[in-house]
Amino acid sequence: MARLRLDNRTARRLFLDRHMLLRPGGGSGRGRDLDDVLYALGFVQVDSVNTLARAHDLILWARRGRYRPAALDSCVATRRAGFEHWTHDASVIPMAFYPMWRLKFARDEARMRARWPRWQGSGWTDEVEGVLRHVHDHGAVTTRDMDDGAPRGATGWWDWHPSKTALEFLWRSGRLAICHREGFRKVYDLSERVIPEAARAARLDTAEIVDWAMSAALARLGFATSGELAAFFDIVTRDEAKAWCAEALAAGRVREVDVELADGTHRRSLTTEAILDAGTALPAPSGRVRILSPFDPALRDRARAERLFGFHYRIEIFVPEAQRRFGYYVFPVMQGDSAIGRLDARRAGAAIEVRAFWHERGVRMGAGRQAALLSELERLRGLTGAERVDFAEDWLRA
């Protein structure tokens, strides 16, 4: 069967539509509507960085302008429609996916048992059963509750005390779950007291989970290589991904497609007939300017973002402020199906302070585009609670 080709503009639009960034998006951003957004994305990365807003809140707000942080708290802590665990990083995941995460629990536990003794020493292993018994007898805890006060070295962010390590181990291996957060601090409880019975009772074998993970990843990416599919949920191994792709190709479940990249070259990927058919009927992209989180799922694979959109964006934290163009304080900005620039802004008291906007090479910042950017900043006040937007004198830069 002849290999198909996907031109760059169609590929961009298909990719963005799968990430809910092509169409306007007028839902309420709460309750069932938020559950549907979380399901469509597959997960939302959780991060403590709070320059303008928390990463997960900015990700959801970019899809639903009426979204507010309390809605995600309700989803996880009250309605139990989502749970916290890991994909490539800490994330909120639809509760419907919990049965598939049992494979993740088992594989994470094996990795932790192999690697963590070299990382944190052996003392934490002696704490595991005691911590589990404490939670069973006394209820939900935070790391502060379990801090034994023992002195620790200053080796950086990951210098955990043994009880903290034991809590993380029990969470990552599925015996504990995050029942809610206090501020941004995790509160852990027994999984059976947090996860609904129906989600805990379901059982799938490894082959079924691999097939689900690969199929679900492809549905959310639109087109991808086997490595990109494996990395999406980070459950499937590279070898399992390659074997699944070969079998799916042989069975006609997927098709090879040559995707045109921003530089005119092509990259061989996999897709399905149904996805390609949907791609031919996509609407023109919304003209809204969108301020995205550095952790947005559409851009978290920096190499893919550069290949597909010609957008070079890397996290560079430890550089002087005068040189800072890409880090946590600088937000990607898209309009339509293109990356148009990056914004250096932060929440400061009652204001959003805009220090700089650098537009991409070849992007013209005419009156209409400037107005669209200002409108997005005004919308952002609703998420952040800011009263105004302040601009540095030389904020608009080439």
User: Rounded distance, CA 312 to CA 328, Å?
Assistant: 15
Least Cα distance to 199 among 177, 217, 231 occurs for: 177
Structure confidence at residue 119 (pLDDT): 58
Q: Residue 159 pLDDT more than 60?
A: no
- Tens of pLDDT, residues 116-139: 676 555 566 778 888 999 999 999
Q: Where are the domains of the chain?
A: 5-95+208-224+238-281, 100-195, 289-391
User: Rounded distance, CA 107 to CA 130, Å?
Assistant: 23
Q: Please give the backbone phi and psi of residue 25, each rounded to the nearest 5 degrees, phi first.
A: 75, 90
Q: Residue 319 pLDDT more than 50?
A: no
* Mean of pLDDT values over 369-395: 96
Structure confidence at residue 48 (pLDDT): 86
Fold entry, domain 100-195: Arc Repressor Mutant, subunit A (1.10.10)
Domains 100-195 and 289-391 agree in fold: no
**Exposure string (b/e) for 235-260, b if CB count within 10 Å is 16 or more?**
bbeeebbbebbeebeeeebbbebbbb
* Mean of pLDDT values over 228-251: 98
For the record, the structure tokens of 208 come out as: 């079924």
Structure confidence at residue 342 (pLDDT): 93
Fold entry, domain 289-391: Aminopeptidase (3.40.630)
Structure confidence at residue 152 (pLDDT): 46
What is the model's pTM?
Answer: 0.92
* Mean of pLDDT values over 322-340: 77
Q: Mean of the per-residue pLDDT values for the chain?
A: 90
* DSSP string for residues in 60-113: HHHH-TT--HHHHHIIIIIS-SEEEEESSSEEEEEGGGGGGHHHHHHHHHHHHH
Structure confidence at residue 317 (pLDDT): 47
Portion of the chain with pLDDT greater than 70, in percent: 90
For the record, the structure tokens of 387 come out as: 């009263």
Q: Which pLDDT band, with edges at 50, 70 and 90, does 318 fall under? A: very low
* Strand partners of residue 187: 180
Q: Which pLDDT band, with edges at 50, 70 and 90, does 164 fall under? A: confident
Residue owning tokens 């709070």: 50
Portion of the chain with pLDDT greater than 90, in percent: 78
Least Cα distance to 225 among 209, 250, 244 occurs for: 244
For the record, the structure tokens of 54 come out as: 């928390």
* Mean of pLDDT values over 314-322: 52
Structure confidence at residue 144 (pLDDT): 87
Of the candidate ranges 97-111, 119-133, 249-263, the one whose mean pLDDT is the lowest: 119-133
